[in-house]
């Protein structure tokens, strides 16, 4: 299927047509491009919580433990989206959860159904692995993602609050910095 960009207003300048998009399992060779796309999407200004936890280690770890539920969207050679999930078992519980941890689509490809296709594929993979509930989470201010998830039928919101503490004022932190300074002075 060819993915075409939707437009609200007709424009005189023809936009270049988007290349067809294929959804497939992620492989090691996709890692760098997926990481770069995440850096572009999860910015400190727009999505501070996601920005904080998106790093190469997180991506590598998820891929190593849950390779079978990590998907990418590719247009030719180019990675244009990802959906990274994991299946979770609660000890002593009959419930098995499929958690979509990371979802992202290259800006040029937004609103052309790429995330919907990624989500549909991932849902199938979760069901094949006997998940009974699917979970997603995101910043409260991430309106586009919330609109997307609601459109896909997600609801029953539970609010979760992140709090932070500046450790630079902690006595242990101050002591550590003073020790490091002293060590540097000895080295000079």
Ligand X SMILES: CC(C)(COP(=O)(O)OP(=O)(O)OC[C@H]1O[C@@H](n2cnc3c(N)ncnc32)[C@H](O)[C@@H]1OP(=O)(O)O)[C@@H](O)C(=O)NCCC(=O)NCCS
Torsion angle in degrees (nearest 10) through CA of 108, 2, 149, 120: -140
Q: Which residue, 150 or 170, has its beta carbon nearer to ligand X? A: 150
Tell me the per-residue interface mask from 147 to 186 with ligand X, x by CB under 6 A, - otherwise.
xx--x-----------------------------------
- For position 82 contacting ligand X by CB under 6 A, the verdict is no
- Residue 24: helix, strand or coil by DSSP? strand
- For position 69 contacting ligand X by CB under 6 A, the verdict is no
Q: Which residue, 87 or 113, has its beta carbon nearer to ligand X? A: 113
Q: Give 114-146 as a DSSP string.
A: HHHHHHHHHHHHHHHTT--EEEE---TT-HHHH
CB atoms within 10 A of CB 31: 17
- For position 84 contacting ligand X by CB under 6 A, the verdict is no
Indicate which single residue of 82, 85, 98, 102 sits in contact with ligand X (rule: CB under 6 A): 102
- The helix or strand, by DSSP H or E, that contains position 22, with its residue range, turns out to be strand 22-25
Tell me the per-residue interface mask from 115 to 134 with ligand X, x by CB under 6 A, - otherwise.
xx------------------
- For position 21 contacting ligand X by CB under 6 A, the verdict is no
Binding-residue total with ligand X (CB under 6 A):
20
Q: Compute the residue count for the chain.
A: 188
Q: How far is the CB of 161 from ligand X (least distance, A)?
A: 18
- For position 54 contacting ligand X by CB under 6 A, the verdict is no
Contacts of 28 (CB under 8 A, 6+ apart): 63
Indicate which single residue of 80, 104, 123, 125 sits in contact with ligand X (rule: CB under 6 A): 104
Q: Give 53-121 as a DSSP string.
A: H--HHHHHHHHHHHGGGEEEEEETTEEEEEEEEEEEE-TT-S-EEEEEEEEEE-GGGTTTTHHHHHHHH
Q: How far is the CB of 127 from ligand X (least distance, A)?
A: 19
Under the rule (CB under 6 A), what is the footprint of ligand X? 41, 50, 102-105, 110-116, 138, 142, 144-145, 147-148, 151
């Amino acid at each position: 299927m060819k993915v075409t960009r939707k437009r609200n207003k007709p424009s005189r300048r023809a936009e270049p047509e988007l290349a067809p998009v294929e959804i497939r399992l992620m492989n090691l060779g996709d890692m760098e491009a997926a990481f770069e796309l995440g850096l572009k999407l999860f910015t400190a200004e727009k999505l501070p919580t996601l920005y904080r936890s998106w790093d190469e280690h997180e991506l590598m770890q998820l891929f190593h433990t849950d390779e079978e539920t990590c998907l990418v969207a590719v247009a030719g050679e180019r990675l244009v989206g990802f959906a990274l999930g994991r299946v979770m078992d609660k000890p002593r519980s009959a419930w098995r959860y499929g958690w979509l941890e990371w979802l992202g689509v290259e800006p040029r490809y937004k609103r052309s159904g790429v995330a919907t296709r990624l989500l549909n594929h991932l849902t199938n993979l979760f069901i094949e692995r006997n998940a009974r509930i699917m979970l997603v989470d995101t910043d409260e201010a991430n309106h586009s993602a919330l609109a997307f998830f609601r459109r896909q039928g997600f609801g029953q919101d539970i609010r979760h609050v992140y709090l932070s503490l500046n450790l630079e004022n902690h006595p242990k932190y101050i002591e550590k910095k003073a020790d490091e300074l002293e060590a540097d002075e000895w080295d000079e």
